[in-house]
Amino acid sequence: MQDIVVGKYRLSKSENFDNFLSEIGLGYIKRKLAQSTNPEITITRDGDKYTMITSSALSTTQITFALGEEFKEDRQDGVSVTSLVTADGNTWTQTQKPGDGKDLLIVREFTDSELKVTSTINGVTANRVYERI
């Protein structure tokens, strides 16, 4: 059932991302740079471990994790967090806890053709859609 998540995706639509990045604490220039790229996400699976690589013209990040197990992660904004990804059908829910009380919730919904990502921090939500390539 989880095999639908494996694949490569490219950003095709973004809503409220600037407000979201502002709430995270990124300055104006970094926000504009982040919005100027069309990142790609590649997800692979090896047994019970998933690897998710997010790459853009600005940076590349990689995390490897097992569903339901906490792991350490350095976000693209440079903040170190404790993350947990759980699955419910074709939906992954990730919580990132940086320790400053600004917990981040990321919900990823996978279909045959796309990945919908909803990210929320302090009541500010960004919606991004990635097409499967």
Q: What local confidence, expressed as pLDDT, does residue 119 receive?
A: 97
Spell out, as residue ranges, where the chain has pLDDT lower than 50: 1-2
pLDDT tens digits, one per residue of 47-77: 999 999 999 888 899 999 999 999 999 988 8
Q: How many CB atoms lie within 10 A of CB 51?
A: 14
∠ at Cα 61 (57, 62), nearest 5°?
A: 140
Angle of helix 17-24 relative to helix 28-35, nearest 10 degrees, comes to 140
Are the C-beta atoms of 102 and 79 separated by less than 8 Å?
no
The candidate with the shortest Cα–Cα distance to 27, out of 62, 72, 94, 78, is 78
Q: What local confidence, expressed as pLDDT, does residue 13 receive?
A: 97
pTM of structure: 0.93
Q: What local confidence, expressed as pLDDT, does residue 99 receive?
A: 82
Q: What local confidence, expressed as pLDDT, does residue 1 receive?
A: 44
